[in-house]
Amino acid sequence: MEQKNETPKEKFKTMIGGQALIEGIMMRGPDKDAVVVRNKDGLKLQVKPRKVYKKGSFPTWPLIRGMVNFFDSQVVGVKALLQSADLAPEEYQEEPSKFDKWLEEKLGNEKFQKAVTGIAVALGFAMSIGLFFLLPMAIGSFFDRWIGSQVLLNLVEGAIRMAIFTVYMLLVSRMKEMRRVFAYHGAEHKTIRCYEAGLPLTVENVRKMTRKHPRCGTSFLLVVMLLSILVFSVASSALLALVPSLAQIRGTFGYRVLMICYKLLLLPVVVAIAYEINRWVGRHDNWFARILTAPGLWFQNFTTFEPEDDMIEVGIAAVEAVLPREEGADRW
């Protein structure tokens, strides 16, 4: 349940953010990353310098930075998740499989870790694209024999995508193990909210903050899915206008495969634009920003839960570990 306390108003907006882990939290600051996990020995903290691109360089260009940061966050997130699994209490650790042991023996520990990270990132991308994009595209493509409008067809596809996403979130949020992860997710948000309100980072102060935050990854995913409807509609209509002959094979298997591949190629564009929207929202607080963030904040009812005090302590340790030496260096 959401805390009934009135949340103190924020005094500034920070770029600090992170993700929930197995019995812990990963937090990213302007120049370093921190992983904090609680086990039987107390809090375990690991801090590493973060790769920072020079301002004005190619990876920091608008739209380009969206794709760069999205991929970077996925790699860092997977590494942090694997790290938390090693640091977590024994009941959350699994015995390495024979394949894992064989792979580590052949590659060595460092190369093995890179291989596992690469495989995990690839599988994560494949599952996300397959479940939330390929499947809705495949189902939606069968409606092309009855629906002539590309806009309407993409609206149907978008509705299917949102339905799958909602059901997925509902099912995951009911899993016992994930409820603890989502509680740590709530602790992450509440701690950042407390920091942005300019209050001392204490358990008591953090506890009364809202567990929802507009820059959450859940909100970002939702923006990607909604934005894809617009981008796919415009791009599909443009393709048919440029290549009128495609209308002659409309409804065929080849046409459906072509349109699915075309839309998949547009996904990086969707991600890049969604990042810029999320970045803008993170820097502003007005009626338009609140409208944009409202759906994502509502979806956080499924992906964040009220944390216990010891989870809040983890969130506080994670934020404090990545605070910049120079005050204000983390502001948007």
Residues 49-60: tens digit of each pLDDT: 998 888 889 999
Q: Indicate the domain borders of the chain.
A: 17-322
Question: pLDDT tens-digit profile of 251-261?
Answer: 788 888 898 89
User: What are residue 53's DSSP bridge partners?
Assistant: none
Q: What is the DSSP string of 52-119?
A: -PPTTSGGGSTTHHHHHHHHHHHHHHHHHHHHHHHHS-GGG--PPPHHHHHHHHHH-HHHHHHHHHHH
The mean pLDDT value for 212-226 works out to 89
Percent of residues, the chain, with pLDDT higher than 70 = 90
- What pLDDT does residue 1 have? 43
Question: pLDDT tens-digit profile of 280-308?
Answer: 888 888 888 888 889 989 999 999 999 99
- What pLDDT does residue 210 have? 95
What is the chain's mean pLDDT, rounded? 87
Contacting residues for 214 by C-beta, under 8 A, at least 6 apart = 281, 282, 289, 293, 296, 297
pLDDT band at 23 (very low <50, low <70, confident <90, very high): very high
* 84 has pLDDT over 90: no
The mean pLDDT value for 244-257 works out to 86
The mean pLDDT value for 173-195 works out to 94
- Rounded Cα–Cα distance for residues 254 and 308 (Å): 53
pLDDT band at 99 (very low <50, low <70, confident <90, very high): low
- Phi/psi region, residue 61 (left: phi>0; alpha: psi -120 to 50; beta: rest), is beta
- What pLDDT does residue 3 have? 47
* 90 has pLDDT over 90: no
* 229 has pLDDT over 60: yes
* 212 has pLDDT over 90: yes
Percent of residues, the chain, with pLDDT higher than 90 = 47
Query: Which element (helix H / strand E) includes 27?
Result: strand 24-28
Beginning with the edge strand found earlier in the chain, give each strand of the sheet holding 42-49 in spatial order. 17-21, 24-28, 32-39, 42-49
- Rounded Cα–Cα distance for residues 123 and 4 (Å): 40
**3-state DSSP assignment of residue 135:** helix
Question: How far is Cα of residue 157 from the mean position of the Cα atoms in its chain?
Answer: 22
- What pLDDT does residue 242 have? 93
- What pLDDT does residue 51 have? 86
Question: pLDDT tens-digit profile of 24-66?
Answer: 999 999 999 999 999 888 899 999 999 888 888 999 999 899 9
* 2 has pLDDT over 50: no
* 104 has pLDDT over 90: no
- What pLDDT does residue 98 have? 62
